[in-house]
Amino acid sequence: MLNGTKNFITNGAHADTFIVFAMTDLTKGHKGISAFVVDAHAPGVEVAHTEHKMGIRASDTAQITLDDVKLRGDQLLGEIKDGFKIAMQTLDGGRIGIAAKALGIAQASIDHSIAYAKERSQFGRPIAQFQAIQFKIAEMTLRTEAARLLTYRAAAVKDQGRRHSNESALAKLAASTASVYCSEEAVQIFGGNGYSKEYPVEKLMRDAKICDIYEGTNEVQKMVISATALA
């Protein structure tokens, strides 16, 4: 029987099935976690509320409550107390997905910035001809291309069936950092227009920030990377 509350569930208000990680042995810490497959429409499962977020507003995020939700034995995922291992394996792959999303934001920031810089004129010429703008585009491109290669490498290692914790952490850290940097620079290149909802870059900036946070914060990625380096 499951009881508890979980915040920030992606697609929580729309999913038909949940994977729930719950403590089945409180004396074992993270080694006492088990994973269960739960029907989202089962008695006791409720969507308490949905979040009003700064960005990624097209992605539903909800709080789920579990009140005396009865489980059958066949709803256990893996073995009892395998939950933490399953969660970590899932995060390794999920971080590659977040890196790919972050890359899309970074690349969109570059594309919009280049198009705008060629179109927008100041002092009698397009702002793309000013070195300050050129240097911004160069730095944005550098960070994005480096992150792209790390993301492709992580995906390749995963496809080979090899452990990819470090590779996915590197990719997620590099790509999320690039997306935040590039989206902020895009807003700067657009100037006052960048702060207006009439132009696309303010949305990119709002969407980018979550990449620093979910599937493990960037501080967590640094813990993974440093642990591998120092092993």
C-alpha torsion sign, points 43, 44, 48, 51 = negative
Strand order in the sheet with 2-10: 2-10, 61-69, 45-50
pLDDT digits (tens, 9 = 90+) for 14-44: 999 999 999 999 999 999 999 999 999 999 9
Determine the Cα–Cα distance for residues 152 and 167; give it in Å rounded to an integer: 10
CA neighbor of 175 nearest in space, from 94, 93, 91, 98: 98
Determine the Cα–Cα distance for residues 164 and 200; give it in Å rounded to an integer: 34
Please tell me the predicted confidence (pLDDT) of residue 59. Answer: 92
pLDDT digits (tens, 9 = 90+) for 127-151: 999 999 999 999 999 999 999 999 9
Please tell me the predicted confidence (pLDDT) of residue 129. Answer: 98
Secondary structure class of 167 (helix, strand, coil): helix
Active site members: 215
Residue 89 pLDDT > 90: no
Please tell me the predicted confidence (pLDDT) of residue 195. Answer: 96
CA distance to 12, 44, 101, 212, per residue, from 98 (Å): 18, 31, 5, 9
The residue type found at 124 is G
Region class of 191: left (phi > 0), else alpha (psi between -120 and 50), else beta: left
- Percentage of the chain modeled with pLDDT above 90: 97
User: Residue 44 class from Cβ within 10 Å (0-12 exposed, 13-18 middle, 19+ buried)?
Assistant: middle
pLDDT digits (tens, 9 = 90+) for 98-111: 999 999 999 999 99
Q: Taking the CB of residue 115, how many other CB atoms lie within 10 A of it?
A: 11
Please tell me the predicted confidence (pLDDT) of residue 11. Answer: 93
Residues 6 or more apart whose CB falls under 8 angstroms from that of 217 comprise none
pLDDT digits (tens, 9 = 90+) for 172-192: 999 999 999 999 999 999 999
Determine the Cα–Cα distance for residues 107 and 114; give it in Å rounded to an integer: 11
Average pLDDT, the chain: 96
The domains located in the chain, with CATH, are 2-77 (2.40.110.10), 88-230 (1.20.140.10)
CB 133 within 8 A of CB 189: yes
Q: Name the β-bridge partners of 34.
A: 22
Q: What is the mean pLDDT of residues 5-17?
A: 94
Determine the Cα–Cα distance for residues 70 and 39; give it in Å rounded to an integer: 10
